[in-house]
Structure 1
Amino acid sequence: MADAEGEFVEYVSARLPSLHRTAFLMCGDAHLADDVVQQTITALYVNWRRVSRVDNVDAYVHRMLVHKLVDEKRLSWAKVRLFGSVPEPSRTPVTPHDEVAERDSVVSALARLSRGQRTVLVLRFLCDLSLAETAAAMGCSEGNVKAQTARALAAVRQVLDVAEMSGRSTR
């Protein structure tokens, strides 16, 4: 048991920043991303012995993350709200890097996409999953992933000023 627990801790410690980034880019809310990652890690802990034996643990965990996010969105109406009004969505902390404006525009563009399109882009391009792995994680066909990717990229290109982005990258 201690050996399995050590493997779990090692796996989660190595993947936690990536899981947070993935969840945030999929949902656009840092607090919701924290909740979804915590739920995913909890479910992973409960099922670690079984999950650790699968061929691709990362793909399995990404699928768990997507399912937890869908569950969170689907069941959000049933949650108790302790505020008089819904708080404004949180923004990521501003850092002194030159890429902040570019990152913010990409995050803003992702936020305008549907949940499916945002998830496809995050899994394909941030998590670097293959077409088949993305389809498996989302529980849909590869054709659906291709279509969602094409529509999402077109929407992102429309939102982002492509000429401005390419002008910045040549500096």
Structure 2
Amino acid sequence: MSRPPDDDEFAELVHAAWPSLYRTAYLLLGDRAEAEDLVQTALAKTYAAWGSVRSVEAAPAYARAVLHNTASSWFRKRSWRNERPTETLPEIAHDFDLSNRPAVLAALAQLPQRQRAVVVLRYYEDLGVADTARALGCSEGTVKSQTFDALTRLRTLLGDTVVADVLTQDLP
């Protein structure tokens, strides 16, 4: 049985596999900087699991699999390719009206526990329907119906304008 690779062997892997991993990442993403980020992330994940790599011979294939899995997870994110560097920072879109905060907190307190949890996870933690369902241990349909019911109740308590404004800001 072979022994797990050591840190020196990981350094050798990085030097040997980088060109191939970078080429694959570039072909997947079409951007040099993003390709470098993908390879760096994949190699960091590979190093984090380095003790479970069975042999030096298996390491390049393992790193390549990590690269593909990481790229796939990047593609699934809603924010994929929405963030771009700019020369100057944009102006703040609008100032949040914190005067509604006590009313919002009071309205949230009037919601049943599951509806409150769904609103917090979906709108303040920015989780998707599937992630919220996993976090709460329920179905995606339940998350959708609870969200609908919660927003209907919040609109009744606060009004449409307040609900729309509040759901786009962070409440400390």
For Structure 1 versus Structure 2, the TM-score category normalised by the shorter chain is 0.3 to 0.5
Normalising by structure 2, report the TM-score: 0.41
**Structure ID, larger Rg:** 2
Normalising by structure 1, report the TM-score: 0.42
